[in-house]
Amino acid sequence: MSLYSLALFLHVSGAIGTFVSLGIWLFGLAALRRARLVEQERALAWLIIIASPVMVLSVLLLALAGLEMALSRLWSLHWATACRRARSVSPAGHEVDPFLKQSRLDLAVVE
């Protein structure tokens, strides 16, 4: 399993945890308005208190995994471009990559 796949799994898990925690908060707050007994309020308050650290951890997991995915793709695109440019010229100085040659021809036509 690659690092990107692991980061994607953690990112999706963080998103699910965030929405579940948010749903618990909204359900708890709506139910608190309807609670008639102190025991009902205590049970709902406990549910909201338990959901708070889960929400914080889920948002952190979501952000860190998303940042890792973004940086890994940015880094790989940078290296892929550099490797393509390095491969596009043979040791004798002749261009090897037909796509690079085509893009240079397109630029020459535009100018």
Question: What are the tens digits of pLDDT across the range 3-38?
Answer: 888 999 999 999 999 999 999 999 999 999 999 999
Average pLDDT over residues 58-69: 93
Choice between 111 and 56, residue whose per-residue pLDDT is larger: 56
* pLDDT (average), residues 70-79: 72
**Prediction pTM value:** 0.64
How many other β-carbons are positioned within 10 Å of the β-carbon of residue 73?
A: 11
Please give the residue that has the higher pLDDT: either 108 or 39.
39
Kindly give the interhelix angle for 3-34 and 38-87, rounded to the nearest 10 degrees: 160
Number of domains within the chain: 1
- Split at pLDDT 50, 70, 90, the class of 85 is low
Q: Which of 29, 74, 20, 61 is nearest to 48 (CA)?
A: 29
Q: What is the dihedral of CA 18, 24, 30, 35, to 10 degrees?
A: -160
Range of the domain at 43: 3-110
Q: CB neighbours (10 Å) of residue 7?
A: 19
Give the span between the Cα atoms of 98 and 90, in whole angstroms: 12
User: Whose structure tokens read 């749903």?
Assistant: 23
